[in-house]
């Protein structure tokens, strides 16, 4: 921009409210938050100052907002109308109530949308277009209902109970929505809305949370079709039985596709958009979508890919796999000491291998991912991977350290992936498989195989981060030797059978 000032663009980074909030736990109105009080009085000056800054990242927006005593989150929302380039999470454009999509339609913007790590958009879109309601929250509201809501909440609970009165299994899915339940839910939503209009600051936070969840449920019920499931999960027994209801999006294409079509152009970036038809089907890409596979900057000589087909990591063979995997890790470490990542399908599997490695090879330094790590703990895990270090970090495939992690040079010289990465077999995924089979005649592949292999390739991608890097990846499972699995590998790989 300095070399060509006439091409200068204003850019803005949008972040979630909880990451931008200066007063967590405080309501977003003038009586509770000092940065909300008089917001629109101070907004013009804050906006004018922001327009003098070409790069408005999170830190810069916060600095400007606090200098003018306005909320950083809502300042950024207002600035979205005044900049040329916006950097934001998927939901700002693809969600049902997306800010940027709404502005683009209202103001008739001609937008170019660039989607990074686009392989994640399928699952993220499914989450955006799904809604769930837990009966536990309804019961809590019924114990002390706001004035005028008691009867409506009681009626909703009655219809809720009818949905699973005869249900024996813990999980049940269907293709039709219960009209009486939706009608009862609409009544509650309407009454809460009236209460908010009368006394917005007096609405209990628990009621407000239930209201927004119910509103999402109602909105999705209006677009419910064969691309959704309606499922009921029951827990407890006797009078303590409770049910969680979910409108579960299976195929986001009918909702994502129009948002793509409304843009002047959409470019999806990813190293793992393979197979193409899987993403085209689930994201609603136009038939004339152009696909470009850019030649990799890496070559096969940089990454030794070894397939160990003598070991099965299937659940029923897991106990028998522990000792062979431990010896594979120890043998590679002994041959070439350095930093390695070892990926497994679950924390339980990870802990079993880690424990046996510590028992048989106590000289190998190791550290492991744990469930529910916060940001500081995740950073601590990554900081163990120092230049020319030696040790093995254990992690879960598909977790925080299997994607988006950059450990160049000797910070990471190899990875062991002891799983095909298939999602867990459970009632929900089995329902997805049935629906995928009905819609695309590829139920297993669309539900299990393609998402699983994608996670494997993403994890393997942690090893080579630059043109000077060298390393190895060991794929441990007999299924990696199958031709249909190998066809999904990056074209620059040259896998060798161990």
Task: Report the range of poorest mean pLDDT among 167-171, 292-296, 386-390.
Answer: 292-296
Alpha-helical runs (H) found in 344-449:
347-360, 375-383, 427-440, 443-444
- Give pTM, 2 decimals: 0.90
Percent share of the chain, pLDDT over 90: 86
Domain 131-249 matches domain 300-497 at the CATH topology level: no
| HSE (side-chain half, CA atoms, 13 Å) at 432 | 23
CB 50 within 8 A of CB 7: no
Residue 341: pLDDT band (50, 70, 90) is very high
For residue 195 the two structure tokens come to 């209460």
State yes or no: pLDDT of 1 exceeds 50.
no
What pLDDT shows up at residue 498? 79
Position 197 confidence tier, pLDDT thresholds 50, 70, 90: confident
Structural domain boundaries in the chain: 1-87, 89-118+252-294, 131-249, 300-497
CATH dotted code for 131-249: 1.10.275
Cα distance between residue 473 and residue 413, in whole Å: 9
Residue 54: closest CA among 77, 79, 80, 83: 83
**Cα-atom radius of gyration of the chain, to the nearest Å?**
26
116, 272 Cβ separation under 8 angstroms: no
> What is 60-102 written as a DSSP string?
HHHHHHHHTT--HHHHHHHHTTS-SEEE--THHHHSTT-HHHH
| Strand 391-396 to 339-344 pairing | parallel
Read off the pLDDT of residues 219-239 as tens digits, 9 standing for 90 and up.
999 999 999 999 999 999 888
The pLDDT tens digits for 36-79 are: 999 999 999 999 999 999 999 999 999 999 999 999 999 999 99
Q: 5-25, pLDDT tens digit by residue?
A: 555 789 999 999 989 999 988
User: Is it the case that residue 198 has pLDDT exceeding 90?
Assistant: no
Looking at the domain that runs over 300-497, which CATH code has it been given?
A: 3.40.50.300
């Amino acid at each position: 921009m300095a070399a060509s000032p006439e091409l200068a663009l204003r850019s803005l980074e949008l972040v979630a409210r909880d990451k931008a909030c200066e007063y967590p736990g405080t309501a977003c109105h003038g009586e509770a938050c000092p940065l909300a009080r008089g917001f629109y009085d101070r907004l013009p000056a804050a906006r004018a100052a922001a327009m003098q800054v070409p790069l408005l990242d999170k830190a810069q927006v916060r600095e400007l907002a606090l200098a003018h005593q306005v909320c950083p989150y809502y300042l950024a929302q207002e600035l979205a109308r005044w900049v040329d380039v916006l950097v934001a999470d998927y939901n700002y454009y693809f969600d049902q109530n997306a800010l940027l999509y709404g502005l683009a339609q209202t103001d008739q913007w001609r937008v170019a949308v660039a989607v990074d790590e686009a392989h994640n958009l399928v699952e993220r879109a499914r989450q955006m277009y799904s809604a769930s309601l837990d009966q536990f929250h309804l019961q809590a509201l019924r114990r002390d209902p706001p004035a005028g809501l008691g009867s409506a909440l009681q009626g909703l609970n009655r219809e809720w109970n009818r949905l699973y009165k005869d249900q024996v299994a813990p999980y049940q899915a269907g293709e039709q929505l219960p009209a009486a339940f939706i009608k009862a839910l609409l009544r509650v939503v309407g009454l809460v809305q009236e209460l908010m209009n009368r006394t917005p600051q007096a609405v209990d936070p628990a009621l407000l949370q239930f209201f927004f969840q119910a509103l999402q449920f109602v909105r999705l019920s209006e677009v419910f079709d064969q691309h959704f499931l309606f499922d009921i999960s029951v827990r407890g027994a006797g009078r303590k039985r409770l049910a969680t209801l979910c409108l579960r999006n299976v195929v986001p294409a009918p909702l994502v596709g129009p948002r793509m079509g409304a843009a002047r152009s959409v470019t999806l970036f990813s190293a793992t958009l393979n197979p193409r038809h899987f993403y085209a089907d689930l994201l609603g890409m136009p038939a004339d979508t152009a696909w470009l596979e850019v030649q990799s900057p890496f070559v096969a000589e940089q990454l030794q890919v070894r397939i160990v087909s003598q070991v099965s990591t299937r659940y029923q063979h897991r106990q028998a796999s522990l000792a062979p995997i431990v010896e594979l890790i120890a043998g590679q470490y002994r041959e070439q000491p350095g930093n390695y990542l070892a990926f497994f399908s679950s924390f339980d599997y990870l802990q079993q291998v880690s424990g046996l490695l510590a028992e048989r090879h106590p000289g190998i330094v190791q550290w492991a991912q744990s469930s529910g790590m916060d940001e500081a703990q995740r950073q601590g895990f990554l900081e163990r991977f120092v230049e020319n270090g030696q040790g093995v970090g254990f992690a879960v495939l598909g977790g925080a350290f299997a994607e988006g992690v950059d450990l160049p040079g000797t910070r990471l010289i190899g990875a062991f992936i002891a799983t095909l990465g298939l999602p867990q077999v459970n009632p929900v995924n089995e329902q997805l498989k049935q629906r995928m089979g009905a819609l695309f005649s590829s139920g297993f592949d669309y539900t299990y195989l393609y998402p699983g292999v994608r996670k494997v390739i993403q994890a393997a991608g942690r090893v080579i981060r630059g043109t000077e890097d060298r390393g190895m990846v060991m794929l441990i499972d007999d299924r990696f030797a199958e031709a249909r699995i190998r066809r999904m590998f990056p074209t620059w790989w040259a896998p060798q059978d161990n």
